[in-house]
Each structure stands twice: as structure tokens, then as C-alpha cells.
Structure 1
Amino acid sequence: MVGSLGPNSRKHKVTVVGSGNWGTAIAKIVAENAANSNGIFEEKVEMWVYEEKIEIPETSPHYDASSPLCQGEQNLTDVINKLNENIKYLPGVRLPTNLHANPSLEDAVKDSTILVFNLPHQFILRICDQLKGKILPYARGISCIKGVDVNENGIHLFSETIGKRLGIYCGALSGANIANEVAQEKWSETSIAYDPPHLDSKCPTPHRSPNSSTVDIVEFEHKDTSGQISDVKLQPVPNEYPPVDHALLKRLFHRPYFHASVVNDVAGVSLGGALKNIVALAAGWVDGMGWGDNAKAAVMRVGLLEMVKFGEKFFGATIENRTFTEESAGVADLITSCSGGRNFRCARLSIERNLPVEEIEKTELNGQKLQGTLTAIEVNRFLSKQGLENEFPLFTAVYQILQGKMSVADIPHHLEC
């Protein structure tokens, strides 16, 4: 599993950018592996936390009336670091002591060679703007963000949006991963997509070295998921570090309870994680209507076909269709999301309570946001501009229902062959 990892003079420092329930669950995994890395990773893992004030409730097992932590509102980062628990977003799960909650984004990423992005996708552009010039130029990233970046220039993966804004290479992680189950160490699996830049860890040794190279590799080109040369000129990871390849990423994310498969298909893994949330909304509505498992299976079948079709149409140069059927980021994630994911649950409750999904979101998610609703709107905006709404009837139906322009009861007719 780790055949390419040999002795190196420097260790990788890892930072997780984001601390919601999924961000904290991933940070837990990363910190556990960093603590047992045999010199590959620095033991201390930083987790950037958007600072907010919280009170430890009297119902919490941590509550102690005599404790300073229980004297009114406290900084969330202080509570996490002192209790080793994110009591707001991942309550009841003990975090490793080598995981440090940091309220300063700039300090959290300082000198980090591996950045794991795990936050709602509506915030990523602002975060990237704050990170410009604050990270190592040869850092590498993994995006755990569920969504797509839609703008006037088309549709993009967030892994590549991050890469372009920060001038680095970024892969993706996605799978059938309900955060609370992962954090509770219930067995699951995930998919990591990373197409290693070809000159990483082949950077010349320092000129002071007796074996220094005469070639100074300052930057190099690589292809993006469109199959074209990227606008980003990468700086190679210096050879003082272990190479950032499939073996290293498996070492960073794989746990006995969290099995990681590493592939090259960044587009397939990213789209699987984004588009399944749209399908999960439809599945939740169907379930809320009481139509049964047959109807939900029909929605999932159509949804999977639209996911594959979307990938072929807009990322055909690099995407592998088998990612949707063979990887956790594909059909497995779709099944999980349409059975117990938050998009599914909130959509079902919206029918049962006769309320808009947005209202359910406010009462059920403890301040967090659904990704399916925003992705559905962004995808429809893109498809509408392309004149392709009719080619994706389920994606279009979800958008129309969210906008109040269509009834859930009309889904069967809308999907009729």
C-alpha cells in the first residue's frame, strides 16, 4: 500500500480547512493517521474553524457548573481544544489530541504542504481569496466539497477552482460517507481522485547539496479535467518530502473503519459527490409522498443516468463512466444519499410538514446548509443557458419544484418516457 514512501528529510504538514460535521470527521481521520505516520506527516494537524460563540448546555456530559468553560458563551475553538470534541457540529465524538482547532485561517495553513478543503461550497471562493499568497507555492490539495462551480465561463469542478485560484494542484474525495457514521467509526468506504502531477517530488536537490541537480525546475505544465493544458503553472513538490501520490493519500485517509480507494478520475469523483445531492432531494420528496421503494428506485435510476450523461457531455475528455458504477463516489454514494443523507431527510420532512425545504433546513441542520438545493439551482442555470434542460428531466424537475413552479406530484409525468 505504501511502497513508494521512503525516507525523506521533511514531513508533510496537513491542514483541514473547515470544521462542520463532515470537516471535523475528516480531520479526525487525518489526525489519527498523522499520529501514526512513521515520519511521513507532522503529528500536529491544524483544523481551521470559523470562530463563533457557543454555550455548553446543561444537558451535555461536559457540563460542570464550576468550570470556566461553562460560564456563559465561549469560543468554539477553545471548547474543541479543551474538550477534544466539536460539541456543536459533531457532538459525542472524541477527537484526537493532536488535532488543533485554529480560528486563524492564515496561521492554520502556514507551512502546510497538504490542504484538505471541507466546507460548504458557497464559501470556497472567499476562502481561496483569503488564502492567496498565504500558502506554500508547492502545496497540494484535496477537495471534499460537494458541488460544482458555475459562472459565466461555464461549469467547473471545485477541485480545479481551488487549484486555479491558489496556483496549486487539487484532487477530490467523495463517497458514501454520512459524516456521523464515519465519525462513530462505523465501517464505510470512500473514493479519492488524484492524478499526480508528473514532476512532483522530482524537484532538484538544494544547490548546497553535493549531489545537487544542474536543472532548476521552477514550474511545469499539467492537463486539467478538460484534457487541455491548465492555465496554472505548478511548482513541483521538493524531493525533501515524500511524494504526494496515491500511496501517500491512502496513508493519510485510509482507516480500518474508513476504506479509501485512490483513482485518477477527478471529474467522475467530483461530479458523483455533487450531482447525487440533486437526486437525493427528489428521492426525499417521493418518500415523503408515501409512494414507496419502487418509486424511489425509479428516481435513483434516472438520476444515475443523468449523472453519467452530464459527465460525458461536459467532462468527456477525462471522465471514466465506470467511476459512477464501481466507485463509492458513484452509485454507492447515490444509494446512501437517497436513504439517509441530509438532503433526502430534509426533502422528506418538507412534504410531511408541508413546508419549503429551506424552512426545514433552518430547523434541522444546526446552522449548516444543504448542498443539494444550491447545486440544483447552479446546474439548472448552466443547463438553461446551454438549452439542455429537456435532456436532464430529473435535474430540471428538482429545480422547478424548488422554485415553486412544479408540484412533487408531477414528477412521474415529467419523467415519463
Structure 2
Amino acid sequence: MDVKKLKRVCVLGSGGWGSVIARIVARNVLCMRRFHPKVTMYVFEEFLDGRKLTEIINKEHENVKYCRGYKFTNNLIALSDPVEAAKYADYIIFVTPHQFVDGLCKLLYGKIKKRAVGVSLIKGFEKKSGGGIDLISHIISKKLAIPCHVLMGANIASEVVAEIKHCTSTLGCKNRKRGEVLKDLFETDHLKISVVADEDTVEICGALKNIVATGVGFVDGLGLDNRMKEAMLRLGFMEMMKFVDLFYPGGRLSTFFESCGIADLIVTSFAGRNRKCAAAFVTSGKTIKELEKEMLNGQMLQGPPTAEEVTFMLRNEKMTDQFPLFTVIDQICRGQKEAKELTKCIEENILKKTYCPKNLKA
């Protein structure tokens, strides 16, 4: 087969999840005839004991900062220049904090293949100047003039890389044929991928569940019982459904029961970094930024900034009263209310009538 015709893959991002996905993709392409064996990975350059992180990855085939103890196959090449990493790629996988997407797209515009395809694994939103928010996949698609699909799911990077069984994820892809190709690119014996066409709902679930997980962390930090945690999850899940129903009509109710929905909400709320840091926020008296630096080894939280982005939109729409849980979590994160106010919010809303979606399809 002509090597020049083989499809190339690039991973933009090398944190915990980015490294795990790059490791999977680099392994998988070696067994797939349609893909070029070389996979590039953009790495934000850091120095560890006087050595460049890209140099360590390329020589030792291990990301010793974010994925220590797990080797990459030799076909994964780390690069510190995102343009160099992505310029020949047919499939560009985005796995950076959502705050960096705009700048990354500006660097890449006009310097990638016109027929490239994006896949976003990024959880979060971006504020619009008019008062609303935009989905990360939409931003990538608009700014780079390429289609962009999404991959979200109930998985923790450390569990996926350790090949613990029954890890799952949901690929949102409207193009059926392309969805089958991407499923093969990401799936392993231990990470199973389901494909749905409901791209927006998949992505929104992936972002909003981090807000709810932050609230669960507050519950833990306050030392409240499991009844309050259950109420927190139930109310949070209802607000997730209501958000899609009101602002993104046309989504499917069934998507909430995929890996990207209720499953991801549960996993993140019990084992994710948003829950962990939110609990410490209550008990330590430190700020979110201080805890991020102390506890996350260079990674970033997504729950607090996503809560701020969502309530920014809700305030402009004059709808904060319809999303009391999202609103109070944002206020607590920003120091406008004490964490104990969450208890009051839960107790005031738990007995209200369960939300019944109006626009979600079966």
C-alpha cells in the first residue's frame, strides 16, 4: 500500500487523559491498514530535572509527569509545536483544557489539511460576547472550517491506562461511516465505544457533569450523609436534562443513559478531581486556584469554570431561578456564598416536581 495515502493522526494535548488516548491510538494504528503508523502528539513544553518533556517522551517513550509507569509504543512522536504536530494530520484529536482552544485554533488556522476531521475530548464551554455560550466542538469546527465530533464517557484516565475492564465512552458522530472508523481508532479490549448521532448532547453532558461533581465534593467537604449526596446527584441530573431540553432542542433522551450521561456523572462524582478538590475547598479554606496547584500536578479543574460559563449564560437569559443548583455551585466556587448554602438549595428543591423534558426526542 502507498504510505502517502495512509491517514495520519495527531493528538493535541498530553495531560493525563491526552497521554492515555495517545497511547491507545498509537497502538491501534499499528494494527489498522488505513492509518499511517506514525502518530504525533503536541506537548506543552516543560522541563523536568533540566530535561525537556518532549525529549523524555521521545527517548524513554513515557510521559513521566502525567502518565508515569506506562510506556508508549515507539511510533508516538512528541512535538512542542502544535502546527508541526497537526499540519499533515487527517484526524486531529483535541485533548487540552478548554480555556486554550481559542488560541490553539488561531495557531492552526490555514495550516492544516482542508479535509481534516476533528474529534474533541474537551469538557467545557466558551462564553459568547452576546451573553451565551458555545460548545467546544462548534468552536473548533467554525474556526478551523473542519467537521468536529466528540468523545465523552464514564472513565478515569488512571483506570483506562491500567486496562481495568468495563471502561466505556460515547462517540458523538453524525456521519455513520466516519463514526465506525473513529470507533476502531479509540476502542480497545478494555475501553468500549458506543456511537450515537446526538453530538451536542454527548458534549453537553461531558461538560455539565463536572459542575454536579463539584457540588458532590462540597457535600463531602461539609460531612453530609449519603441522602444529601443522592439528592445532589438527582437534582444535578435533572438540571443537565433541562439545560439540553431548553437550549439545545432536538437532543435525545436516550443519550443521557449512554456512558457520556448518567454513567459519567456517577464516576466523576465519586472518583474525579472536581469532587476531590471541591471537598478540600470546604475543609481547607483555600481557594480553587490554590488547590488546583497543590493537588493536580499541573492539570486544571473544569467544574468551577464551567459553572461560571453556564451561569453567565443563565443570568443573561434571566433563567438562574430554573437552575438553582448550577447557580449556587458557581456562587460557592467564586466565594459569593458559603458552602453550607448548598444544603439549603437542595432542601428547597428536592421535593419539587420532577422535570419532564418537552423537546428531547425518545
**Which interval holds the TM-score relative to the shorter structure?**
over 0.9
Return the index of the structure with the highest Cα Rg: 1
Q: Which amino acid aligns with 2:15?
A: G
Question: Deviations 1:14-45 (Å, cap 9, x if unpaired)?
Answer: 000111111111111111111111x1111111
Percent of paired sites with the same residue:
40
Using the TM superposition, give the Cα deviation of residue 382 of structure 1 relative to its aligned residue in structure 2, in angstroms: 0.7
Distance in 1 between the 2:88 and 2:112 partners? Answer: 7
Q: Which of 318, 322, 346 is residue 254 of structure 2 equivalent to?
A: 322
Which deviates more, 400-409 or 112-121?
A: 400-409
Distance in 2 between the 1:254 and 1:44 partners? Answer: 18
Question: Deviations 1:265-309 (Å, cap 9, x if unpaired)?
Answer: 111110011000000110001011111222111101100100010
The 3-state SS of whatever aligns with 2:31 is coil
Question: Deviations 1:242-276 (Å, cap 9, x if unpaired)?
Answer: xx612101110010011111111111110011000
Q: Which amino acid aligns with 1:24?
A: S
Alignment of structure 1 residues 164-179 onto 2, 5 Å: 164-179=142-157
Equivalent residues of 2:3, 2:36 under 8 A apart:
no
1:408 corresponding residue in structure 2:
339
Question: Deviations 1:350-388 (Å, cap 9, x if unpaired)?
Answer: 223232222211100112210111111111111101101
Alignment of structure 1 residues 242-391 onto 2, 5 Å: 245-317=178-250, 319-325=251-257, 327-391=258-322
Q: Does 2:108 correspond to 1:163?
A: no
Using the TM superposition, give the Cα deviation of residue 412 of structure 1 relative to its aligned residue in structure 2, in angstroms: 2.4
2:62 corresponding residue in structure 1:
85
Q: Which amino acid aligns with 1:52?
A: E
Distance in 2 between the 1:151 and 1:183 partners? Answer: 36
1:196 corresponding residue in structure 2:
175
Q: Does 2:44 correspond to 1:50?
A: yes
Equivalent residues of 2:149, 2:172 under 8 A apart:
yes
1:25 corresponding residue in structure 2:
20
Distance in 2 between the 1:89 and 1:311 partners? Answer: 33
Q: Which amino acid aligns with 2:273?
A: R
Using the TM superposition, give the Cα deviation of residue 74 of structure 1 relative to its aligned residue in structure 2, in angstroms: 0.7
Distance in 2 between the 1:297 and 1:102 partners? Answer: 44
Question: Deviations 1:315-342 (Å, cap 9, x if unpaired)?
Answer: 113x1121112x1000000001100100
Q: Which amino acid aligns with 1:20?
A: G
1:35 corresponding residue in structure 2:
30
Distance in 1 between the 2:69 and 2:137 partners? Answer: 31
Question: TM-score scaled to structure 2, two decimals?
Answer: 0.92
Using the TM superposition, give the Cα deviation of residue 116 of structure 1 relative to its aligned residue in structure 2, in angstroms: 0.3
Distance in 1 between the 2:125 and 2:312 partners? Answer: 12
The 3-state SS of whatever aligns with 2:70 is coil
Distance in 2 between the 1:137 and 1:103 partners? Answer: 22
C-alpha RMSD of matched pairs (Å):
1.5
Question: TM-score scaled to structure 1, two decimals?
Answer: 0.80
Q: Which of 110, 113, 116 is residue 136 of structure 1 equivalent to?
A: 113
Using the TM superposition, give the Cα deviation of residue 183 of structure 1 relative to its aligned residue in structure 2, in angstroms: 1.3
Structure 1: 4+ residue segments shifted above 3 A: none
Distance in 2 between the 1:300 and 1:84 partners? Answer: 40
Q: Which amino acid aligns with 1:385?
A: N
Equivalent residues of 2:94, 2:119 under 8 A apart:
yes
Distance in 2 between the 1:95 and 1:301 partners? Answer: 40
Using the TM superposition, give the Cα deviation of residue 9 of structure 1 relative to its aligned residue in structure 2, in angstroms: 8.3
Distance in 1 between the 2:249 and 2:55 partners? Answer: 47
Distance in 2 between the 1:33 and 1:194 partners? Answer: 20
The 3-state SS of whatever aligns with 2:77 is strand
The 3-state SS of whatever aligns with 2:35 is coil
Structure 2 gap ranges (5+): 350-362
CA distance 1:109–1:9, shift in 2 (3 Å)? closer
Q: Which amino acid aligns with 1:190?
A: S
Distance in 2 between the 1:42 and 1:360 partners? Answer: 41
Distance in 1 between the 2:15 and 2:203 partners? Answer: 19
Distance in 2 between the 1:185 and 1:89 partners? Answer: 16
Q: Which amino acid aligns with 2:171?
A: I
Count of residues in correspondence between the two structures: 345
The 3-state SS of whatever aligns with 1:366 is coil
Structure 1 gap ranges (5+): 1-6, 56-72, 198-243
